[in-house]
Structure 1
Amino acid sequence: MTDARYSPTQITLHWLSAILVLVIIALPYGSDLFAGLLGGAGGVFTLHKSLGLLVLLLTVLRLLVRTRDGAPQLLPADARLNQLAAKAGHALLYLLLLLMPLSGLLFGKRPLNLFWLVEIPPLPLSDAVREVAKTFHVTAQYLLFALILGHAGAAIWHHRVRRDNVLRAMLPARD
């Protein structure tokens, strides 16, 4: 394969998003650990929700940059099934990176304190809508976990087994 690469902007946004998503996941699961650092359980969820909205913004920005810069052709042209799997996996990841923060925003009944700077009132929604959003949010997290593991596993497989440039295409360039 060629030395096709994502743009430096795409690489930066990808890794920033990845780090933020891992922190977002860790916060509620490690709330006992983080509560002392963030002023209690409320602080844990303030940061969880704030970072979630930041990921939503970054995802929209990533999609705009991807539209502008495109994506490199990293898989062989005759590997149609692999290409389809990669496109489907990426599309589902992007979809969840959009829907998870939105569903979290929709089910909240309390004001959102965005990074302890700005308070956003809850949306005027029925309890039924909030419950659907909460169910989606809590259930879809497991699909997101599976997709993240599959995404990372595929990147490692390409690097260690296939020994191609798929992973290198998303790593910062070496001088």
Structure 2
Amino acid sequence: MNDRYSSAQILLHWLSALLVICTLSLPYAQDWLADWLGGTGGVFTLHKSLGLTILLVTSLRLLVRARHGAPQLLADDARWQRTAAKLAHAALYVLLLSMPLSGLLFGKRPLELFWLLTIDPLAVSDTTRALARQYHLTAKYLLFALILGHAGMALWHHYRLRDGVLRAMLPRRS
């Protein structure tokens, strides 16, 4: 039984974490970053570009996970914990895939992907745009809660249970 995630899984996990933190922070830091990024439009160009990068990285993560699986880190008598962890991870993956897609759906202007490539807005009804926008803004709070819970449980396993769950997702020390 493997007690660690693969190197690719670890890299993609921490890359995802960095991208999500940056993407979620950008709208809150727009006053500070607007001058540096050419105005508030530049802040949202970066926000949307990072969001699409999250979509790509999450898709890649799912492919790598399908190939490598996940280590069984919890004891057999902790079935409820395994179930809760699987549900929380599934919810995180759903949000990491659906939030960039909902962002694409409600955008009315062309998206400048990292100022290199223009993606035209999708042709959808105003009702669909409104629903996508509401989903995007509401899902943000669910994502905040899941991230806090995910990090909190990792720390609880590491410091309270000392069971190696967090170490399984940390790079190996040389």
Does TM, normalized by the shorter one, top 0.5? yes
Quick one: distance in 2 between partners of 1:114 and 1:40? 16
Instruction: Give, in angstroms, the shift of residue 3 of structure 1.
Output: 6.8
1:57-93 Cα shifts (integer Å, max 9, x gaps) = 0000000000000000010011010000000000000
Quick one: distance in 1 between partners of 2:141 and 2:55? 18
1:10 aligned residue: 9
Quick one: distance in 1 between partners of 2:36 and 2:139? 28
Q: CA RMSD in A?
A: 0.9
**TM-score, structure 2 normalization:** 0.98
Instruction: Give, in angstroms, the shift of residue 164 of structure 1.
Output: 1.0
Cα pair 1:100 1:137 within 8 Å, conserved: yes
Quick one: distance in 2 between partners of 1:58 and 1:5? 20
- Structure number with greater CO (CA < 8 Å, separation at least 6) is 1
Q: Percent identity?
A: 66
2:40 aligned residue: 41
Q: Which runs of 4+ in 1 moved over 6 A?
A: none
2:141 aligned residue: 142
1:33-79 Cα shifts (integer Å, max 9, x gaps) = 11111111000000000000000000000000000000000100110
Cα pair 1:104 1:133 within 8 Å, conserved: yes
Number of residue pairs the alignment of both structures matches? 174
1:133 aligned residue: 132
Quick one: distance in 1 between partners of 2:92 and 2:5? 17
Cα pair 1:107 1:133 within 8 Å, conserved: yes
2:65 aligned residue: 66
2:89 aligned residue: 90
Unaligned runs of 5+ in 1: none
Quick one: distance in 1 between partners of 2:13 and 2:35? 30
Cα pair 1:10 1:62 within 8 Å, conserved: yes
One-letter amino acid of the structure 1 residue matched with residue 80 of structure 2: L
Unaligned runs of 5+ in 2: none
One-letter amino acid of the structure 2 residue matched with residue 171 of structure 1: L
